A and B are shown apart, each in its own frame.
Chain A
Amino acid sequence: MSHESADTGPLPGLEGFQKMLGHRSRLGICALLARNDELSFSRLKELLSEKDGSLGAQLRKLEDEGFVTVRKEFQDRKPISWYQLTTTGRQRLEVHLAALSGLLGTDE
């Protein structure tokens, strides 16, 4: 029995899929930053229920790929890292979400 689908061409929207956003935390970070101007490391950790090390690693990857920028600040002598989605990051998130919608057939 063949598992081949009737559609033989590439899956629609797959080309817009961003590898960087395939990870749960990275997608969550970008989605949260898209709805806020800036979020601190602590707030992201809280909202995503992540551990410090894991969140820090994912944020660094996003920063290296130009999805987010970080700004350091001191509040009551405590360091605070504020993260912001870049224009490129926002565009790539939109492309990724459109690709997901395309895959699910919900973009019509």
Chain B
Amino acid sequence: MGRHRGGGFLTLADFAPSAVGWFWAVASPAGGILSGILGARYHQRRGQRNRELGIRHALHWGGMLVAIFLAVLLVPRGILSGEDLGKVILLLVAFGWWSGGVHFDRVFMWLGGVMGLGFLGVIWVDRYAWTCLGILVAAVLVTKAIAGQRGEHTHEP
């Protein structure tokens, strides 16, 4: 199976495996909060305010984060090796994005699907599977962001 120690995510897992745990422990919640702020600002600029939708997003992505932090507890309890934790987290994240696609925006399903395929990659391929997955995820994000930008902005005269 995978050669990286300590588990982790995407490209970092192939090139700096020791930094993976700490990096994502900080980056995940920080990224979530930043994403929430940017999302609110985006909708504000777009002229749409929906508090109930914001709460649903917070519950969905916050729930996913809590599940990830609970999964981390499997390592000190000796139930799961650090090496395999990253794979479990990848599966949780893939499901989180997929279900986000079901409930919010179909674009998220693409990411969930790619991550699901990536999960198969990291359990069967020893080298650079995380890096390949990182590139794939980035490509999906960029493609969908460009596609989503078309014809969105109008201003009140």
Interface range, A side: 10 to 19
A-B contact count (CB 8 A): 41
User: Are A80 and B50 in contact (CB-based, < 8 A)?
Assistant: no
Q: Which of B2-10, B89-97, B149-157 touches A?
A: B149-157
Query: In the complex the two chains form, what is the Cα distance from A38 to B40 in whole Å?
Result: 13
Segment 114-157 of B: residues with Cβ below 8 Å from A: 154-157
A43 within 8 A of B: yes
Q: Which of B41-49, B58-66, B67-75, B78-86 touches A?
A: B41-49
Query: In the complex the two chains form, what is the Cα distance from A75 to B49 in whole Å?
Result: 15
User: Are A36 and B48 in contact (CB-based, < 8 A)?
Assistant: yes
**Of the residues B46, B49, B156, contact of A79 by C-beta under 8 Å:** B156
> Which residues of the partner chain A approach B154 to less than 8 Å between Cβ atoms?
42-43, 45-46
A52 within 8 A of B: yes
Smallest CB-CB separation from B152: which chain A residue?
Answer: A46
Query: In the complex the two chains form, what is the Cα distance from A39 to B53 in whole Å?
Result: 14
Write the nearest CB–CB distance from B105 to chain A, whole angstroms: 15
User: Are A81 and B156 in contact (CB-based, < 8 A)?
Assistant: yes
* B contact residues, total (Cβ < 8 Å): 12
> Which residues of the partner chain B approach A7 to less than 8 Å between Cβ atoms?
none
Query: In the complex the two chains form, what is the Cα distance from A46 to B157 in whole Å?
Result: 13
A101 within 8 A of B: no
User: Are B50 and A37 in contact (CB-based, < 8 A)?
Assistant: yes
B51 within 8 A of A: yes
Query: In the complex the two chains form, what is the Cα distance from A26 to B155 in whole Å?
Result: 21
> Which residues of the partner chain B approach A44 to less than 8 Å between Cβ atoms?
47
Smallest CB-CB separation from B44: which chain A residue?
Answer: A75
User: Are B49 and A37 in contact (CB-based, < 8 A)?
Assistant: yes
**Of the residues B45, B47, B157, contact of A39 by C-beta under 8 Å:** B47
User: Are B156 and A42 in contact (CB-based, < 8 A)?
Assistant: yes
User: Are B156 and A41 in contact (CB-based, < 8 A)?
Assistant: yes
> Which residues of the partner chain B approach A52 to less than 8 Å between Cβ atoms?
157
Q: Which residues of B contact A (CB under 8 A)?
A: 45-52, 154-157
Q: List, sorted by A's number, 26 A–B pairs whose CB atoms are closer than 8 Å.
A: A36-B48, A37-B49, A37-B50, A37-B52, A38-B48, A39-B49, A40-B47, A40-B156, A41-B47, A41-B156, A42-B47, A42-B154, A42-B156, A43-B46, A43-B47, A43-B48, A44-B47, A45-B154, A45-B156, A52-B157, A75-B45, A78-B155, A78-B156, A80-B47, A80-B156, A81-B156
